Amino acid sequence: MSDSNPGARNFAIADYFEAFRKHYSKQMEQGGYPVRAMRDWSRQDRLGADDCAERFVSLDQRRFTARQNAWAASRAGDVRWLGACKSYKGLVNLKSPFDLVLYASLIWELQPKTILEFGSMQGGSALWFADQLDALCGSGEVHSFELYDKCIHPRARHPRLTFHHADLRSIDGLDKALFARLPHPWLVIDDAHTNLEALARFVGGHLQIGDYYVWEDVLLGNWSTYDKIGTAISIAKDCGLLVDVKYTDAYGVNVTISPNAWFKKCLEPA
């Protein structure tokens, strides 16, 4: 199946069930697992759909709770296993297993030309993103910004990857010309947790329709107070951002390290 829009990808999950119905109709009438599950799933019209009316919602319509703590479920609090469960190619990569799958799915769907990461740490996550671009897109570039850039490991190198020294306590230090020239669509990830209000408005001013902006560990963590949630809602509205519940709720409501914060720019500012 060829994509009608070469800049986006369609999920072909529904095609599998349609093919099963077409070629194995007799088996579909039988019971037992897995045919029974196949028959039941095939009746769900929206299974595998790219979009539905309920997919993108305003942040102020979301509840600020999570069905399960993604960090706790992935042993984030137990540093003994950091090397095994929070690393990539031997480098620290602080992403939960839920979110690694979600990011891979979004990168394939979005086909970003640019990935922007605020907070590099050792460089493991930026390297992972660069490898994902290679595997899923075959093009694109990653730009990762870090204050303590001397801690970035020499092995965190990739032709698509560039690290930048940045002190996010002052947005004025960011190279505005760089942001102006980087091709879209963008996937922006904030994992720095520094001066987020100013940074989010700066990034929001550069986003184009279709770009994604993910805030990690914020809306059930650093910004979980009533006034901060109000600030987040204001920023989202001002920047035309809607929550993509396909990613926030893929494993249950807000089972992600970015609860309520997988944003897509869907609207132009009023």
CATH of the domain at 86: 3.40.50.150
66 with 98, same domain? yes
98 with 186, same domain? yes
Q: Distances from the Cα of 27 to the Cαs of 23, 43, 45, in angstroms?
A: 9, 15, 20
Task: For residue 22, give its domain range.
Answer: 1-50
43 with 77, same domain? no
The first and second tokens of residue 224, run together, are 């979980």
38 with 87, same domain? no
193 with 102, same domain? yes
Query: What whole-number distance in Å separates Cα of residue 164 and Cα of residue 146?
Result: 6
**Phi, psi angle pair for 118, to nearest 5°:** -105, 110
70 with 18, same domain? no
Q: Residue 75 has what pLDDT?
A: 64
120 with 183, same domain? yes
Q: Distances from the Cα of 233 to the Cαs of 165, 195, 209, 242, 246, in angstroms?
A: 30, 16, 18, 10, 19
Q: Distances from the Cα of 154 to the Cαs of 14, 188, 215, in angstroms?
A: 43, 24, 27
Distance from the first to the final alpha carbon of the chain: 38
**Phi, psi angle pair for 198, to nearest 5°:** -70, -40
The first and second tokens of residue 113, run together, are 């030309």
Tell me, yes or no, whether 197 lies in a domain: yes
pLDDT at 199 over 50: yes
Q: Where are the beta strands (DSSP E) in the chain?
A: 56-57, 87-88, 91-92, 114-118, 141-146, 161-165, 186-190, 212-215, 241-244, 262-265
Region 77-102 average pLDDT = 83
The 10 Å CB-count burial string (b at 16+, else e) for 82-117 is: eeeebbbeebbbbbbebbbebbebbbebbbbbbbbb
Q: Residue 270 has what pLDDT?
A: 62
pLDDT confidence band for 5 (50 / 70 / 90): very low
Tell me, yes or no, whether 21 lies in a domain: yes
pLDDT confidence band for 21 (50 / 70 / 90): confident
**252: DSSP letter:** B
Q: What is the dihedral of CA 144, 218, 238, 227, to 10 degrees?
A: -150
Region 138-160 average pLDDT = 97
184 with 218, same domain? yes
Q: Residue 181 has what pLDDT?
A: 97
- Average pLDDT score, the chain: 88
37 with 83, same domain? no
Tell me, yes or no, whether 195 lies in a domain: yes
Residue where a domain terminates, one of 13, 28, 50: 50
Tens-digit pLDDT profile for residues 237-260: 999 999 999 999 999 999 999 999
Tell me, yes or no, whether 158 lies in a domain: yes
pLDDT at 204 over 90: yes
149 with 82, same domain? yes
64 with 19, same domain? no
Q: What is the dihedral of CA 159, 102, 242, 195, to 10 degrees?
A: -60
Among 4-18, 45-59, 76-90, 177-191, the range of highest mean pLDDT: 177-191
pLDDT confidence band for 15 (50 / 70 / 90): confident
Count: domains in the chain? 2
Q: Residue 127 has what pLDDT?
A: 98
Residue 213: strand pairing partners: 188, 263
Tell me, yes or no, whether 27 lies in a domain: yes
Q: Residue 3 has what pLDDT?
A: 45
Q: Which of 114-118, 152-156, 221-225 is predicted with the least confidence, judged by mean pLDDT?
A: 221-225
pTM score: 0.88
pLDDT at 85 over 90: no
pLDDT confidence band for 48 (50 / 70 / 90): low
200 with 237, same domain? yes
Q: Residue 174 has what pLDDT?
A: 96
Tell me, yes or no, whether 270 lies in a domain: no
Q: Residue 54 has what pLDDT?
A: 82
Q: Residue 78 has what pLDDT?
A: 66
